[in-house]
């Protein structure tokens, strides 16, 4: 367990599709807000708020096949979404005690490296870090949490959610079990490297209430 004092104010929650990031984000907001803290959240991609995110979503769900094929083009769209959110993130940091990010730059690093079938210590990971943090000025997270749920459990959760809610149909990345497995391996490498900031690996293959206890 890590304490809110340990993690700083900008905390990214990372993990596979269906691993439980949104669920954890919502429960942390409820708990810390209830305790009087000022907590803000942002989820990436910012669907409906960013043209870049919406184009990426269309590609993920079946349109723009050529675009989806290009790892660099997809990574750039996700990065542009965050570049355009950077000022908002700084504003939230100025007015809140804790800003929780449901996916952030490490998502781009992990999925892009996995798509290229390379590891956490690779050129694409370095390129994304350089592009987003240095060229685009996206704030570096103080801490990153990796939800430790492998591809099988996350896949079951994602398909359960898609059945319950047709608006959450599984996209091309979610349906690709091999991609999900490789992505998780890259995430583990990023966490082991302490890529960009300290990481905590959270056992999330357990009840949602228990996962929430990760942050005190
Ligand atoms: N600890 C848990 N145990 C069992 N089911 C869970 C747990 N956490 C989340 N779920 C369920 O799994 C599904 C996916 O959870 P959630 O939407 O939070 O994942 P996510 O990581 O945000 O996914 P995505 O990245 O695809 O948006 C939901 O139906 C949610 O209720
Ligand atoms: C932010 C971000 C996301 N991705 C990938 C990860 C997911 O498979 C999809 C969409 O995310 P969602 O949580 O399912 O809505 O895109 C990525 O490759 N790079 C990123 O920066």
Query: pLDDT tens across 52-70, in order?
Result: 999 999 999 987 888 999 9
- Per-residue pLDDT tens over the stretch 152-211: 999 999 999 999 998 988 999 999 999 999 999 999 999 999 999 999 999 999 999 999
Ligand with smallest separation from the Cα of 179: 2
Vertex 76 angle, CA 118 and 29, to 5°: 90
**Residue 69 CB coordination number (10 Å):** 11
Atom of ligand 1 nearest to the CA of 205: 1
What is this model's ipTM? 0.98
Give the binding-site residues of ligand 1, using a 6 Å CB cut-off.
15, 17-23, 157-158, 160-161, 204, 207-208, 211
How confident is the model at residue 103, as a pLDDT? 98
Angstrom distances, CA of residue 168 to CA of 15, 173, 188, 201: 17, 13, 26, 26
Strand segments (E) across the chain? 10-14, 39-43, 98-102, 143-148, 199-203
Q: How far is ligand 1, taken at its centre, from the CA of residue 130, in Å?
A: 31
How confident is the model at residue 142, as a pLDDT? 98
**Which 3 state secondary structure label does DSSP give 39?**
strand
- Measured in Å, how far apart are the chain's first and last C-alpha atoms? 7
Ligand with smallest separation from the Cα of 13: 1
């Amino acid at each position: 367990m890590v304490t809110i004092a340990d993690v700083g104010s900008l905390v990214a929650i990372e993990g596979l599709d269906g691993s439980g990031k949104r669920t954890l984000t919502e429960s942390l907001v409820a708990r810390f807000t209830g305790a009087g803290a000022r907590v803000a959240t942002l989820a990436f991609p910012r669907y409906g708020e960013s043209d870049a995110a919406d184009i990426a979503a269309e590609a993920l769900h079946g349109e723009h096949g050529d675009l989806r094929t290009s790892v660099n083009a997809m990574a750039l769209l996700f990065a542009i979404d965050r570049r355009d959110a950077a000022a908002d993130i700084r504003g939230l940091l100025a007015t809140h005690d804790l800003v929780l990010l449901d996916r952030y730059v490490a998502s781009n690093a992990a999925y892009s490296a996995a798509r290229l079938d390379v590891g956490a210590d690779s050129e694409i990971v370095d390129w994304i870090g350089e592009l987003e943090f240095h060229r685009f000025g996206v704030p570096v997270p103080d801490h990153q949490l990796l939800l430790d749920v492998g591809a099988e459990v996350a896949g079951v959760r994602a398909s359960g959610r898609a059945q319950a809610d047709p608006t959450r149909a599984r996209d091309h990345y979610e349906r690709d079990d091999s991609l999900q497995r490789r992505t998780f391996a890259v995430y583990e490498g990023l966490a082991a490297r302490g890529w960009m900031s300290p990481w905590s690996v959270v056992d999330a293959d357990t009840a949602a209430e228990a996962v929430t206890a990760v942050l005190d």
